Amino acid sequence: MVNLTSKKNINDRETNSTKQLKGFSTKSIHGHEFYDPELGLFKVPIYQTVVWEQFDKITGLPRKTSRETELKYSREENPTVYALEKVLAKLDDTEDALAFNCGMAAISTIYLSTLESGSTILISKEAYGVTQQLALNLGKYGVKTLFGGPNTEEIIDLIDDKVSLVVVETITNPLLKVIDVNEVIKVCKENNVKIVVDNTFATPILYRPVKNGAWLVLYSLTKYLSGHNDVIGGSVAGDKETIKVLWDWRKNLGTIMNPFEAYLVIRGLETLEVRFIKQCENALEIAEFLKDNPNVEEVYYPGLKDNAYHSIANKVFEHQLYGGVVSFKVKGGKESAFNFFKKIKVIKSTPSLGGVETLATYPILSASKSMPQSLKEELGITDNLIRLSVGLEDIEDLKEDIEQALKS
Ligand code: PLP
């Protein structure tokens, strides 16, 4: 059996020096463990190939990765993707991780591998609309969906041993409520219920769900972890056994990430910490700026001291940072919101988040579009609500752009 860590194999190498990585950025830069001693190469190449020679010429046995899976076909394993997975596992302090071709591929793989006819899935009321919609679609196979929340206590109230799977987001979207995930995990454990935490908005810099007892952590890598609005991807990290099961489902569903995307995410992760910290700082400044604007009705940002979720954030997050997304309601309803989107110049109107560009989103036509109408009304996701993913532009340029768009 060929271990991919073996120096004989050019496809996946590591040095002893990369095994003792401590700091977050050190892990995000060196955690792929790739090193080719023949070339002195420490950057992960793009292995743009489908096939590998299945039998190793030295041992005569099937070529295997260090997770004991065969390396022969890129729908199953690819060394560029595998190198990314090593970084992801380290950043969340988990045993293993898998990369998928988008966040929804990660979610659908978890759903299909975990749920069966008669299962009940409990999802946060303010979770990403497509995550909710997919669960509702599984109703045709006999899966029941419960919506709980949006606050911690209301999620916890619905957890009992009849629930098979709980899905929560650390910071909800679009109203940016912070969930006391540690409390939800505690109740899940008491009831023997599996919990998946979608940590896309918080990133492993603010919170590490599996380290705090969650079953799995999930990311849309499309957002902060790749960070440049040029990659679609997803990931799941957790214990070795579960990841093996998910690996098999990923192979059967065909939801693995492509090597080029994996390369871009590896590159994006190298600057995750500096990017995210700066985006959090910019977001706080924009939230405070919006609060003072006479054309703004309400600002939602957990970093504001008078925000209802500020104290939960301080309790749960590892740093006094509150994410890079700010939501606000404009005075004047839908017309004013549309006017804002029309007038912004530096900021672009589009549904995503987490990249270097500042993006303005209209939640009722994007993240919350597939959310049932009654839920939107109940949560206050209205037609004057705008969500900003604050990027890395100069803060004064962003303020000026927002000011002129709100004025007109
Ligand atoms: N989870 C959250 C919180 C999201 O915001 C999104 C997408 O916006 C997803 C999951 C799905 O990710 P993707 O678009 O990469 O499939």
| 276: CATH | 3.90.1150.10
User: What tokens does 216 get?
Assistant: 């799995």
What is the pLDDT at residue 20?
72
Instruction: Kindly state if the Cβ of 217 falls inside 6 Å of ligand 1.
Output: no
Does residue 401 sit in the same domain as residue 369?
A: yes
**Is residue 201 located within the same domain as residue 276?**
no
Which of 59, 58, 53 lies closest to 11 in space, CA to CA?
A: 53
Domain stops at, among 235, 269, 303: 269
> Do 220 and 334 share a domain, yes or no?
no
Burial class (CB in 10 A: 0-12, 13-18, 19+), 396: exposed
> Do 227 and 335 share a domain, yes or no?
no
Beta-sheet strands, E only, within 1-48: none
User: Looking at ligand 1, which residue's alpha carbon is closest to its atom 15?
Assistant: 103
Q: Is residue 11 part of a domain?
A: no
Please name the residue whose Cα sits nearest to atom 13 of ligand 1: 103
**171 three-class SS:** strand
- How many CA atoms are closer than 13 Å to the CA of 328, on its beta-carbon side? 30
As for how many domains the chain has, the answer is 2
Residues 138 and 122 in one domain: yes
- The answer as to whether 54 is a domain residue is no
Instruction: Report yes or no on 67 lying in a domain.
Output: no
Coarse DSSP helix, strand, coil percentages of the chain, rounded to the nearest 5 percent: 40, 15, 45
Same-domain check for residues 346 and 380: yes
pLDDT value of position 4: 36
Do residues 145 and 222 share a domain?
Answer: yes
In this structure, are 197 and 248 located in the same domain? Answer: yes
Pairwise CA distance, residues 190 & 34, whole Å: 40
Is the CB of 235 inside a 6 Å radius of any atom of ligand 1? no
CA of 104 to the centre of ligand 1 (A): 6
Q: Hey, what are 46's tokens?
A: 């793009």
Give the CATH number, domain containing residue 233. 3.40.640.10
- Is residue 115 classed as helix, strand or coil in its secondary structure? coil
The per-residue pLDDT string of the chain (408 residues; one tens digit each, 9 = 90 and over) reads 223 333 333 334 344 444 578 899 999 999 999 999 999 999 999 999 999 999 999 999 999 988 999 999 999 999 999 999 999 999 999 999 999 999 999 999 999 999 999 999 999 999 999 999 999 999 999 999 999 999 999 999 999 999 999 999 999 999 999 999 999 999 999 999 999 999 999 999 999 999 999 999 999 999 999 999 999 999 999 999 999 999 999 999 999 999 999 999 999 999 999 999 999 999 999 999 999 999 999 999 999 999 999 999 999 999 999 999 999 999 999 999 999 999 999 999 999 999 999 999 999 998 888 777 888 889 999 999 999 999 999 999 999 999 999 996
My answer on whether 243 and 337 are in the same domain is no
Flag whether 138 is in a domain. Answer: yes
Overall size of the chain counted in residues:
408
Distance 317 CA to ligand 1 centre (A): 21
Who contacts 144 (Cβ-Cβ below 8 Å, separation ≥6)?
118, 119, 120, 121
Q: Is there a single domain that holds both residue 296 and residue 156?
A: no
Residue for token digits 């995990």? 185
Asked if residue 248 lies in contact with residue 378, where contact means CB atoms within 8 angstroms, the answer is no
pTM, 2 dp: 0.94
Residues 178 and 260 in one domain: yes
**Domain shared by 317 and 290, yes or no:** yes
User: Is 262 a member of any domain?
Assistant: yes
* Residue 280: inside a domain: yes
User: Across the chain, which distance is largest between two alpha carbons, in Å?
Assistant: 73
Does residue 126's CB lie within 6 angstroms of at least one atom of ligand 1?
A: no
Domain ends where: 220, 242, 269?
269
In a domain, 12, yes or no: no
Residue type, 347: I
Predicted local distance difference test score (pLDDT) of residue 16: 40
Order of strands across the sheet with 120-124? 96-100, 234-238, 216-220, 194-198, 165-169, 120-124, 144-148
Within a domain: 165: yes
226 lines ligand 1 (CB under 6 A): no
Domain holding 261, by residue range, is 79-269
State which of 269, 297, 329 marks the end of a domain.
269
